[in-house]
Amino acid sequence: MARNLTQKIIAAHLMDGDMTPGSEVALKIDQTLTQDATGTMAWLQFEAIGMDRVQTQLSVSYVDHNTLQMGFRNPDDHRYLRSAAARFGAVFSPPGLGICHQLHLENFARPGRTLVGSDSHTPTAGGLAMLAFGAGGLSVALAMAGAPYVISMPKVVRVRLEGKLSGWTAAKDVILHLLGLLTVKGGVGKVFEFSGPGAASLSVPERATITNMGAELGATTSIFESDATTKRFLASMGRPGQYKPLSADKGASFDDEIVIDLGKLEPLAASPHMPDKVVTVASLDGLAVDQVAVGSCTNSSYADLKTVALTLKGKRVPPATDLMVSPGSKQVVKMLAAEKLVEPILDAGARLLECTCGPCIGMGGSPVSAGVSVRTFNRNFEGRSGTQDAKVYLVSPQTAANVALRGKFSKPSTWGKAPRKPVLPKKTPSLKKLFVFPPKDGSKVEILRGPNIAPLSKFAALPGSIKAQVALKVGDDITTDHILPAGAQITALRSNIPAISEYVFSRVDADFVARIKKLGGGVILGGENYGQGSSREHAALGPRHLGVAAVIVKSLARIHRANLVNFGILPLLLKDKADYEALALGESLTIPAGKLTPGGTIEIVTGSGRRVAVTNDLTAKELGIIQAGGLLNAVRSRS
């Protein structure tokens, strides 16, 4: 039977399940990655599972998020991660070496393999024909322990790219076009598989930009075929033997198809405060800009920054506009330096930041009050930049450089001729020696813990009946940044659930934590696409620690839904979405949890006696995990 590329890789890694869309499939995972914001908890969970060694072909522990070493917390976590990697057999990437997705693309990603990472932008590796999934840390810990990664078999959407990008249009504009077309909910339950003559014209870093931001569509993942472009990239990275051609079979079927003519695209921007609020750059003509930031895992490659350097060369950014550039890796910096392309960036007045995520997660680089910030990042959620009232626009590096030079948006037709598209040299500098590879026997390695690393919380099993109040009512598109914000102060507490829980919903309702503590627990009521955005499992762990027993919503984002299940919070869906308006903050609810069946309907009874029907999309296995009080409890009970 002819299969598309997604189906072929899933079939090759299928350990259990039926490859019918919507059915549960269990996949063997070849590689995992963690980063420090989510990784400390993931490694604590791996320890709790009780394995002596990771069971994957490769696991890498990256430090790229919490690199501001203010006080002991972040450095202590980094030391813990280094010692845990050595003890359990993972590669360690120290702070400053680079951003996990850029580094993984350069050093470890391989066509046809599977990857699970505790970061929602793990699908970046799909640019190199990997089937790569973002997941919560506990799911990654289990994958490191050799357990299969379980997902619903996705639908596969073929995105046929035709023509070629021209002028100032960039790969970022391809994914912004898709977001404008489909919205942040348009990819739920789907894999986007890119092919066609236009795809062949895109470099691997360009492809990775597109698959990276496929996460903003809510997609399961995104992937490109492995072709001559893939082969050239791997050869340039010193890994020619890892190439293998991969594509859909002739005559393979897809669940849907989208055709994009690259030649007809123009520079685009995502407006505040959502990646799907897409407009043309030309329509923003004249809008003054306070800050421009180039980098993040989406747009920090050699090709991205070379284009920026060539655009800035011999010119100066106006004093009222702050330009920051964050390279994706030390390899990128070395390549730019070898071509004398660091100087044009510095001479233009830009600040060259460390090779980390940095401003993308509010880790420094916050805009001025009510400022307009133009960023090459993947998310522009309200407050994510670290400045609550900032207005953040997402653009390509080409657009960012031109905006920076003018201190405002202008029409691309006035920018002049674009630089030639950069081509990777046949050989690039390898920095693999800077990774810390584990000893063959790590049994004698001491795991070093700082005082901020708190023991894992223990959660009770699901009771037969939940009696609780609606502790918070929120609207549509609530992100994990709304639930548990990022930023230097809060992210430093990721290994301390009691401490970080004090910030749950702090930017939505400052009284939430005090209220739910007084209630002794409660229920969250939400709208559409609840929990979109980051893979941070802390957005489920924190509420669970505070006693959140259930979330009752119109619809859920994929990764957050999985995290709710992993930590024993009931994800319930309103059968009649009109009931959302009828339920109020503070309303008493009785949930007959003991009557739950997979995919079944139960009736919640309010304090006034009103009955509200809710359903679920849980499998029998997922319901069992919730009934046990979470996945760790379920795993322990089986061992």
Alpha-carbon distance of 384 to 360, in angstroms, equals 8
The enclosing domain of 12 has a CATH number of 3.30.499.10
Q: Which of 288, 269, 289 is nearest to 279 (CA)?
A: 269
Residues 138, 213 within the same domain: yes
Contacts of 340 (CB under 8 A, 6+ apart): none
Which pLDDT value is given to residue 364? 86
Here the tokens at position 519 are 């209630």
Give the end of a domain, one of 229, 264, 299.
264
d(CA 233, CA 498): 45
Residue 522's DSSP bridge partners are 548
The side-by-side arrangement of strands in the sheet containing 149-152 is 14-17, 24-27, 149-152
Mean pLDDT of 337-344: 97
Q: How high is the pLDDT of residue 101? A: 97
The proportion of the chain whose per-residue pLDDT surpasses 70, expressed as a percent, equals 100
Do residue 115 and residue 94 come from a single domain?
yes
Residues 6+ apart with CB under 8 A from 576: 613
Side chain identity at 20, as an amino acid letter? T
Going by the DSSP 8-state scheme, the letter that residue 246 receives in this structure is B
Across the chain, what does the average pLDDT equal? 95
Per-residue pLDDT, 557: 92
∠ CA 70-121-123 to the nearest 5 degrees?
150
Statement to judge: residues 486 and 611 lie in one domain: yes
Q: Give the model's confidence band at 454: pLDDT under 50 very low, under 70 low, under 90 confident, else very high.
A: confident
Residue with tokens 């994914």: 175
The CA distance from 281 to 283, in Å, is 5
CA nearest to 567, candidates 551, 585, 590, 588:
551
Average confidence (pLDDT) over 141-152: 95
Q: Do 175 and 221 lie in a common domain?
A: yes
Give the whole-angstrom CA distance, residue 90 versus residue 105. Answer: 17
As a three-state string, the secondary structure of 249-268 is: CCCCCCCEEEEEEHHHCCCE
Are 251 and 443 contacting, i.e. CB atoms less than 8 angstroms apart? no
State how far the Cα of 300 lies from the Cα of 294, in Å rounded to an integer.
7
Q: Provide the pLDDT confidence category of residue 623 given band limits of 50, 70 and 90.
A: very high
> In this structure, what are the phi and psi dihedrals at residue 239, rounded to the nearest 5 degrees?
-130, 50
- Structure-token match 């249009």, residue found: 169
Q: 281 in a domain, yes or no?
A: yes
pLDDT-derived band of residue 638, with 50, 70 and 90 as boundaries? confident
Which residues have C-beta within 8 Å of that of residue 162, sequence separation ≥ 6?
Answer: 196, 197, 198, 259, 260, 261, 262, 263
439 domain-assigned: no
Question: What is the C-alpha separation between 402 and 422, in angstroms, rounded?
Answer: 17
pLDDT the model gives residue 456: 84
Mark whether 256 and 348 lie in a shared domain: no
Residue 47 has pLDDT above 70, yes or no: yes
* Residue where one domain finishes, among candidates 391, 411, 431: 411
d(CA 467, CA 221) in angstroms, rounded, equals 38
Helices 631-638 and 620-628, axial angle in degrees (round to 10): 90
Residue 574 lies in a domain: yes
Specify if 424 maps to a domain.
no
Residue with tokens 């198809």: 257
88 within some domain? yes
Predicted TM-score (pTM) of this structure: 0.92
**430 in any annotated domain:** no
Predicted confidence band at 522 (pLDDT cuts at 50, 70, 90)? very high
Give the model's pLDDT for residue 535.
82
Contacts of 628 by beta carbon, 8 Å cutoff, 6+ apart: 461, 462, 568, 634, 637
| Contacts (Cβ under 8 Å, ≥6 apart) of 452 | 72, 73, 76, 77, 492, 493, 495, 496, 499
Distance CA 627, CA 622 (A): 9
Side-chain half-sphere CA neighbours of 106 within 13 A:
27
pLDDT tier, 639 (very low <50, low <70, confident <90, very high otherwise): low
Q: How many domains does the chain have?
A: 3
Same domain? 298 vs 364:
yes
**If 0-12 CB within 10 Å is exposed, 13-18 middle and 19+ buried, where does residue 24 land?**
middle
Alpha helix positions (H), 283-396: 302-312, 330-338, 342-347
50-72 mean pLDDT: 91
What is the domain range of residue 564?
A: 466-638
The 10s digit of each residue's pLDDT in 178-228 is: 999 999 999 999 999 999 999 999 999 999 999 999 999 999 999 999 999
Q: Is the pLDDT confidence value at 428 over 80? A: yes
Radius of gyration over alpha carbons of the chain, in Å? 23
Query: pLDDT band at 635, cuts 50/70/90?
Result: confident
Do the Cβ atoms of 21 and 155 come closer than 8 Å? Answer: yes
Whether 606 and 557 map to the same domain: the answer is yes
Q: Mean pLDDT throughout 559-584? A: 94
Which secondary-structure segment (H or E) carries 599? none
pLDDT tens-digit profile of 430-450? Answer: 999 999 999 999 999 999 999
Domain limit, last residue, from 264, 281, 315: 264
Pick the closest to residue 623 from 578, 564, 580 (CA basis): 564
**Which tokens go with 109?**
């990603």
In the prediction, which pLDDT does 345 show?
Answer: 98
CATH of the domain at 479: 3.20.19.10
Contacts 24+ apart (CB under 8 A), 81-85: 81/36, 81/39, 81/40, 81/43, 82/436, 83/445, 83/446, 83/447, 83/448, 84/43, 84/46, 84/47, 84/447, 85/43, 85/61, 85/436, 85/438
Residue whose entry in the numeric block shows the structure tokens 């739910």 = 516
In a domain, 416, yes or no: no
pLDDT value, residue 362? 82
Identify which of 108, 146, 98, 162 has the alpha carbon closest to the alpha carbon of residue 130: 108
Considering the domain architecture, whether residues 57 and 139 belong to the same structural domain is answered as yes
Q: Would you say 387 and 354 are in contact if contact means Cβ atoms under 8 Å apart?
A: no
Residues 243 and 342 occupy one common structural domain: no
Q: Are residues 221 and 340 in the same domain?
A: no
Residue 257 and residue 274 in one domain:
no
Mean local confidence (pLDDT), 75-99: 96
Helix, strand, coil percent values for the chain (each to nearest 5): 35, 20, 45
pLDDT, residue 487, reads 79
Q: Are residues 254 and 109 in the same domain?
A: yes
Q: Is the pLDDT of residue 143 over 90?
A: yes
486 band by pLDDT with thresholds 50, 70 and 90: confident
**What share of the chain has pLDDT > 90, as a percent?**
88
Per-residue pLDDT band for 473 (boundaries 50, 70, 90) equals very high
Residue 178 lies in a domain: yes
The DSSP letter of residue 527 is: -
Is residue 177 a contact partner of residue 241, using CB atoms and an 8 Å limit?
Answer: no
| DSSP 8-state secondary structure symbol assigned to residue 50 | T
Other beta carbons within 10 Å of 330: 17
Beta-sheet strands, E only, within 123-255:
131-134, 149-152, 155-162, 190-195, 221-224
**Strand residue runs (E) in 4-103:** 14-17, 24-27, 31-35, 58-62, 91-93
What confidence score (pLDDT) does residue 492 get? 81
